[in-house]
Amino acid sequence: MNNLDSATLAAQLLGGHRHALARAITLAETGGAEARALLGAVYPHTGGALVVGVTGAPGAGKSTFVNALAQHWRAAGRTIAILAVDPSSPFSGGAILGDRIRMQPLGGDPGVFVRSMASRGRLGGIAHATDDAVALMDAAGFDVVVIETVGAGQSEVEIAATAPTTVVIETPGTGDDVQSIKAGILEIADVFVVNKADREGADSVIRNLQTMLRLAERSVSSWMPPVLPAVALRGEGIAAIAATIDQHYAYMLQGERLRVHAQARVERALALSVQELAVTRARAHGGGATWRQLVERVIARQIDPYSAADVLLDAP
């Protein structure tokens, strides 16, 4: 399957061909005109999957938890695609993606598809590539798409923007005082999981989170994120968490909530796409000469970068 055009790839992917889905994600990651054509062809077939984000500190047990959750859903007859995102090395641009190690029990099941993705040094962080991969998995017909990302800086905010339901994993022993709970986490979590509840201190992490959630401002009718214990390694607590995820999705389906979430996601995606296209076209204008000349003129301080950008965007 070396030289597949995007139309063939899209048709195979929509037919549930696993290899086509794998190739399609690679194409979307690489980008370019074929990738855009592919996304265009499958986009009308998206929107059927429940999309769940899972984030938390390194080593919190995210992959172990996702594995247990997927096993639970498989037993209930749902199919699952998992997108596991890990950071790229800022020095080499390479990455070691190790999340599959914890997901080996899912092997051999055609109802499960696991894909590892490196964050790379992308414009707008991982959001763009993640959105595309989720759309492809959704179009391939999976009932649930789970995104795992390490909670570090911007990525957890991005995952919350992509997924209507975000699960944040905390653990005991990372300092269980209120200050250790990262700022911003209360705003993005729809469900809190305190994993490694077999360890000492889980109860106090749960209590502290509940206190903070009560103190946080929210409207009377809005969702109060539940705080649930889990021992992901042994599958304990998973059924209750899965039920809560479904409840949150049912909540999102009421009124305009899902549409409001979608609007924020789409506006961000659109802004990124416009940026990307604008830069690509500006660089290509006049066979690249316009860009190079403007760079020279900015260096010589004949023109400032903002005016140079205006020239490029207005160029016919």
Partner 1 sequence: MEHKIRVLVAKPGLDGHDRGAKVIARALRDAGMEVIYTGLQQTPAMIIEAALQEDVDVIGLSILSGAHMTLLPKVSQLLREQAMDDVLVVVGGIISDADATILKRDHGVAAVYGPGASMQEIVSFIREHAGSGRVS
Ligand X SMILES: Nc1nc2c(ncn2[C@@H]2O[C@H](COP(=O)(O)OP(=O)(O)OP(=O)(O)O)[C@@H](O)[C@H]2O)c(=O)[nH]1
Q: Which residues of this protein are in contact with Mg ion, per CB under 5 A? A: 62-63, 99
Taking CB under 8 A as the rule, does residue 8 contact partner 1?
no
As measured in angstroms, the least distance from the Cβ of 192 to Mg ion is 18
Shortest distance, position 28 Cβ to partner 1, whole Å: 10
Q: Does 115 bind ligand X (CB under 6 A)?
A: no
Distance CA 152, CA 108 (A): 32
Residue count at the site for partner 1 (CB under 8 A)?
33
Pick what 116 binds: Mg ion, partner 1, ligand X, none; C-beta below 5 to 8 Å, kind-dependent.
Answer: partner 1
The yes or no reply on residue 64 touching ligand X (CB under 6 A) is yes
Q: How far is CA 36 from CA 6, 33, 107, 131, in A?
A: 9, 5, 31, 13
Each residue 134-163 as x (binds ligand X by CB under 6 A) or -, in order, gives: ----------------x-------------
Rounded to an integer, what distance in angstroms lies between the CA atom of residue 208 and that of residue 202?
A: 10
Residues 6+ apart with CB under 8 A from 128: 122, 269, 272, 273, 276
CB of 17 to ligand X, least distance (A): 29
> What length does the chain have?
316
The residue from 53, 61, 225, 229 that contacts ligand X (CB under 6 A) is 61
Least distance CB 249 / partner 1 (angstroms): 26
Minimum Å distance from CB 98 to Mg ion?
7
Q: Is 62 or 115 the residue whose CB approaches Mg ion more closely?
A: 62
DSSP output for 240-306: HHHHHHHHHHHHHHSTTHHHHHHHHHHHHHHHHHHHHHHHHHHHHGGGGHHHHHHHHHHHTTSS-HH
46's contact among Mg ion, partner 1, ligand X, none, with CB below 5 to 8 A by partner kind, is: none
Report the residue number, 13 or 189, with the smaller CB distance to Mg ion. 189
Q: Which is nearer to ligand X, 167 or 294 (CB)?
A: 167
Closer CB to partner 1, 115 or 248, in the complex: 115
Report CA torsion sign: 250, 251, 257, 263.
negative
DSSP 112-179: EEEEEEE-TT-TTTTHHHHHHHHHHHHHTT-SEEEEEEE--TTHHHHHHHH-SEEEEEE-TTS--SGG
**Dihedral sign for Cα atoms in the order 277, 279, 281, 284:** negative
Other CB atoms closer than 10 Å to residue 89's CB: what's the count?
10
| Among 119, 195, 208, 244, interactor with ligand X by CB under 6 A | 195
| Pair 159, 130: CB distance under 8 Å | yes
- Name which position in 14, 22, 240, 279 contacts partner 1 (CB under 8 A): 22
Residue 203 beta carbon to ligand X: minimum distance, rounded to whole angstroms? 15
Residues 29-88 that bind partner 1 (CB under 8 A): 29-31, 88
Residue 83 exposed, middle or buried by CB count within 10 Å (0-12, 13-18, 19+): buried
Q: Is 307 in the site for partner 1 (CB under 8 A)?
A: no
Report the interface residues with partner 1, using CB under 8 A: 1-2, 18-19, 22-23, 25-26, 29-31, 88-89, 91-98, 100-101, 104, 107-108, 113-116, 118, 120, 122
